[in-house]
Amino acid sequence: MVMEDRDEEEEHLNLSLAIVTDPNGENSRKRKRKLLNVCNPLNPSHEGYFEGKIFKLLQVREEMLKLDHKRSKGLAENGKGLHLIHSLLIIATSVDKNNMNSALENLIQLYPTVSLMGDSVQRVVAHFADSLFARILTPKSPFYDMVMKEPTTEQQFLAFTSLYRVSPYYQFAHFTANQAIIEAFEKDQETNNNRALHVIDFNVSYGFQWPSLMQSLSQSGKRVSLRLTGYGRSLEELQETEARLVSFAKGFCNLVFEFQGLLRSSSKLIINQREKKNETVAVNLVFHLSNFMEMSQTLKSVHSLKPSIVILVEQEGNPRVRNFLSRFMESLHYFAAMFDSLDDCLPQESTERLSIERNHLGKEIKAMINSENLDEENKGTWKNMMERHGFGGMKLSSKCLMQAKLLLKVRTHNYCPLPCEGENTNGGFRAFQRDEGKALSLGWQDRCLLTVSAWQCV
Asked if 195 and 213 sit in the same domain, the reply is yes
User: Are 255 and 217 a contacting pair, CB within 8 Å?
Assistant: yes
In-domain check, residue 160: no
Asked if 109 and 122 sit in the same domain, the reply is yes
Is this model's pTM higher than 0.95 or not? no
In-domain check, residue 67: no
In-domain check, residue 173: yes
In-domain check, residue 161: no
Partner residues linked to 216 by β-bridges: none
Q: Among residues 166, 162, 68, 63, which one has the least CA distance to residue 118?
A: 68
Gyration radius of the chain's alpha carbons: 27
**C-alpha dist (Å) from residue 222 to 149, 250, 256, 373, 389:** 49, 15, 11, 48, 36
| Total count of domains within the chain | 2
Q: Please give the pLDDT value at position 35.
A: 34
Asked if 240 and 267 sit in the same domain, the reply is yes
Contacts of 81 (CB under 8 A, 6+ apart): 119, 121
- Give CA angle at 327 (62, 119), nearest 5°: 45
In-domain check, residue 3: no
Q: Among residues 218, 223, 211, 190, which one has the least CA distance to residue 308?
A: 190
Partner residues linked to 450 by β-bridges: 315, 442
Asked if 359 and 397 sit in the same domain, the reply is no
207 φψ region: left (φ > 0), alpha (ψ -120 to 50), beta (else): left
Asked if 291 and 404 sit in the same domain, the reply is yes
Asked if 283 and 393 sit in the same domain, the reply is yes
What angle in degrees, to the nearest 10, is found between the helix axes of 100-110 and 47-65? 30
Q: Among residues 175, 385, 201, 210, which one has the least CA distance to residue 285?
A: 201
SS3 281: strand
* Residue 345 lies in domain: 52-61+79-149+322-370
In-domain check, residue 97: yes
Q: Could you tell me the sign of the dihedral formed by the alpha carbons of 417, 418, 420, 422, in that order?
A: positive
Neighbour count for residue 361 (Cβ, 10 Å): 20
Partner residues linked to 453 by β-bridges: 312, 439
In-domain check, residue 34: no
Pairing of strands 447-457, 391-394: antiparallel
Among 370, 389, 405, the domain boundary falls at 370
Q: Please give the pLDDT value at position 205.
A: 84
The list of the chain residues with pLDDT below 50 reads: 1-43, 269, 272-273, 374-377, 418-426
Q: What is the CATH number of the domain that holds 440?
A: 3.40.50.150
DSSP character at residue 372: T
